Amino acid sequence: MRALGPLVRVTVQSLLGRRRILLMLLLVALPVLVGLAIRLGGGRADAAVILDTLVIRTVLPLVALVIGGAALGSEIEDGTVVYLLVKPVPRWVVALAKIVVAVGLTLVLTVPPMLVTAVLIGTATGGSLGPSLAFVLAAIAGGAAYASVFTTLGALTTRALVVGLAYTLLWEGVLAGLLEGTRFLSIRQATLGIAAALGGRDPDVASLEPTVSLVVLVLAIASSFVLATVALQRFQVRAGD
Amino acid sequence: MTATPPPAPAPAPVPTRPAPAASVAAIELEHVSRWYGNVVAVNDISFALGPGVTGLLGPNGAGKSTLLHLIAGLLAPSAGQVRLAGRRPFGDPTVYRDVGLVPEREAIQPYLTGHQFALLNAELQGLPDAGAAADRAIATVDLTEAAHRQIRTYSKGMRQRAKLAGALVHEPRILLLDEPFNGMDPRQRLHMMTLLRSMAAAGRVILFSSHILEEVERLAEAVLVVYAGRLAASGDFRSIRRLMTDRPHRFTIRSSDDRRLASALLGQPAVFGAELVDGLLAVHTSDFAAFTRALAGVARDARIRLFEVAPTDDSLESVFSYLVRR
């Protein structure tokens, strides 16, 4: 476990590229700007819907995808992961470090703007801040799950960005609303389920029961960790490398 | 006027910790093959290596990198068995306590400085004083002046040295280097060769790949020649060199009287064939040195003028091909 610290440090350094961070900052500024516009426009009663659309459906998975997909994927792509793997460090420690950093950076980048947006929208009409804060707390759990899954995706495929976008837009955006069974494999639905439970409301028709939601998110994180470990244990350089 | 290159600096203190007693075969391959679909990259290779410097020689695309990746545990063999420091390296990270690897690929974390890279390697090796080990490794590869610059600003040769610093920071018993001299200038090359030689003298096992015969000649005591995925020859470098030199050679000659020259040359013991092809005389010889010494004398005695003499099969490729056929 002594290797965890250096691995976390080098992963943070690798992800803090100027262009990537600029792109992320622009992305997370979006809900704040929309929140500000709503606030200046006199507010709206459906704060939860706006937070769902802006944050859970859009910003959270995209930030997690860019950060998580690169945490391991970019090092595998450019070959520098070899320097981490030819060390007497159990591969699960490498997988853990990557997931910890992806989750941490995703939350650092998304939670503050989410909080600001929640305050701007939630209190605009003099209503309670409770449901909006519940969304933020749920988004923390959802963000951790998204980042874990996308980190593992980066270890499994060189097309993590495309697969991640397809999952977010097609699976979660379209199929989860049409086919009931697919909701159990939707991080968004689980996040909404937790948000509904924390906000003291019944889950929306589309979202999952709170307990099921929690199980889905915990399973997503745990299975991502196991799969990333297995992928690193079976890692082989590509032909021509 | 010839420019004299500055003398290579004396290598910084090479890791002086004597290598732990290496087993007779620190690296052992038994009938190892590796294929990708229908393409065979490594074909039924067996050998065992102990302490000293061994050169893995072969043209580009011969399978050298695949072989080193198999040895380093970065590829699983499709058939056969690889043993590194007595263990199967694929899927066993503990083996890397004894092993340092310099991959061929130039990529190296560009956002780190050379020192940070060496430090990261030392920390991941779990060394008690990682900072001091990183300093030593950086000094050993003569990178101290640039140690605190980001690797993205390094030249190719500096990157190679940074990679080497990372590989030897824990003073490994076994060092695997894939084309380590790529991009190095002659001075750095000399420095690295001196360094590797002194490490081998301390009992370490060093296997390096190269497609340049002269590099292997200058550094390696033993050599493994790989061609088209197969082990074409292995053993003491001098015997392999002799095999390469003593193989049949073919020369094309243009002279004032090709037909008469052919007849005169056939009287030479080193010549075993001559033919006239496309207006040129093609001569086959079994002894490169003896033929080249005798040719001028034979031509002079027969009063024939030589216009052109060219060896036609002296490329490294043809040398390897010949070794495989033997």
CA distance B22 to B24: 6
CB contact under 8 A, A84 and B124: yes
- Residue B285: the pLDDT is 87
pLDDT of B6: 46
Q: Which domain covers residue A98, as residue numbers?
A: 4-240
pLDDT greater than 90 at residue B246? no
Say whether the ipTM exceeds 0.95: no
Is a pLDDT exceeding 80 seen at residue A234?
A: yes
d(CA B163, CA B158): 9
| pLDDT band, residue B204 (cuts 50/70/90) | very high
Chosen for mutation from A4, A18, A72, A87 (greatest number of chain B CBs closer than 10 Å) is A87
A82 contacts on B by Cβ (under 8 Å): 74, 101, 103, 105
| pLDDT range class, residue A45, cuts 50, 70, 90 | low
* Interface with chain B: mutation pick from A15, A93, A237, A238, highest number of B CBs within 10 Å: A237
What pLDDT is stored for residue B1 in this prediction?
38
User: Is pLDDT larger for residue B162 or for residue B187?
Assistant: B162
In Å, how far are A73, A131, A205 from A46, measured between CA atoms?
38, 10, 16
**Distance in Å, alpha carbon of A164 to nearest chain B alpha carbon:** 25
* B65 reaches A (C-beta below 8 A): yes
β strands within B14-148, DSSP E: 27-36, 39-49, 52-57, 79-84, 99-102
Q: Which residues from A are below 8 Å from B97, CB to CB?
A: 88
Q: How far apart are CA A106 and CA A27, in angstroms?
A: 12
Task: Round to whole Å and give the CA distance between B247 and B323.
Answer: 9
Q: What residues of A are in contact with residue B94 (Cβ under 8 Å)?
A: 88
Q: Which residues contact B129 (CB under 8 A, 6 or more apart)?
A: none
What is the average pLDDT score of chain A?
A: 87
Per-residue pLDDT of B25-70, as tens digits, reads: 799 999 999 999 889 999 999 999 999 999 998 888 889 999 999 9
User: In this structure, what are the phi and psi dihedrals at residue B131, rounded to the nearest 5 degrees?
Assistant: -60, -45
Residue, of B132 and B2, whose pLDDT is higher? B132
> Which one, of A16, A7, A83, A154, lies nearest residue B107 by Cα?
A83
Res A124: pLDDT: 60
Q: Write down the pTM of the prediction.
A: 0.82
* Token output for B121: 């390697």
Cβ-defined contact of A237 to B75 (cutoff 8 Å): yes
Higher confidence at residue B88 or residue B238?
Answer: B88
Give the per-residue pLDDT at A196.
83
**What contacts B128, CB < 8 A, 6 or more positions away?**
none
Q: Rounded mean pLDDT of A215-235? A: 96
CB proximity B96 to A under 8 Å:
yes
Lowest mean pLDDT among A120-124, B53-57, B243-247: B243-247
Predicted local confidence at residue B2, as pLDDT? 39
Q: What is the mean pLDDT of residues A207-211?
A: 80
Answer whether A75's CB lies under 8 Å from A12's CB. Answer: no
| Min Cα separation A77/chain B (Å) | 10
- Structure confidence at residue A54 (pLDDT): 79
- The pLDDT value recorded for residue B14 is 43
Question: How does residue B3 score in pLDDT terms, banded at 50, 70 and 90?
Answer: very low
Is B107 within 8 Å of chain A by CB? yes
Residues of B in contact with A2 (CB under 8 A): 123, 126
Structure confidence at residue B12 (pLDDT): 47
Concatenated DSSP letters for chain A? -TTHHHHHHHHHHHH--HHHHHHHHHHHHHHHHHHHHHHHTT--S-HHHHHIIIIIIIIHHHHHHHHHHHHHHHHHHHSTHHHHHSSSS-HHHHHHHHHHHHHHHHHHHHHHHHHHHHHHHHTTTS--SHHHHHHHHHHHHHHHHHHHHHHHHHHH-TTHHHHHHHIIIIIIIIIHHH-GGGGGG-HHHHHHHHHHHHTTSPPPSSSPPHHHHHHHHHHHHHHHHHHHHHHHHT--PPTT-
Put simply, the chain B residues between 139 and 178 with a CB less than 8 A from any chain A CB are: 166
Task: Give the pLDDT confidence of A145-193 residue by residue, as tens digits.
Answer: 999 999 999 999 989 999 999 998 888 877 766 777 777 788 988 998 8
d(CA B244, nearest CA chain A) in Å: 28
For A3, name the nearest residue in chain B, comparing CA atoms only: B124
Summarize pLDDT for B180-202 with one digit per residue, the tens: 998 888 888 999 999 999 999 99
**Cα separation, A1 vs A21, whole angstroms:** 29
What chain B residue is nearest to A238 in terms of C-alpha separation? Answer: B75
Asked if residue B166 lies in contact with residue B141, where contact means CB atoms within 8 angstroms, the answer is no
CA dist., res. B7 & res. A206, Å (int)? 75
Residue B175 has pLDDT above 60, yes or no: yes
Q: Is B94 on the interface with A (CB under 8 A)?
A: yes
Look up residue B6 and give its DSSP letter. Answer: P
Residue of chain A nearest B35, judged by CA positions: A239
If one compares B278 and B91, the residue with the highest pLDDT of the two is: B91
Residue of chain B minimizing CA distance to A15? B111
- In three-state secondary structure terms, B45 is strand
Based on the structure, what is the number of domains in chain A? 1
Question: By the CB < 8 Å criterion, does B38 face chain A?
Answer: no
Which tops the pLDDT comparison, B315 or B122? B122
A127 contact partners, CB below 8 Å, separation of at least 6: A45, A47
Mean pLDDT, rounded, for B219-241: 85
- CA dist B265 → B108, B256, B297, B301, B307 (Å): 57, 14, 10, 11, 16
Q: What percent of chain B has pLDDT over 90?
A: 59
pLDDT exceeds 50 at position B4: no
Are the beta carbons of A91 and B126 separated by less than 8 Å?
A: no
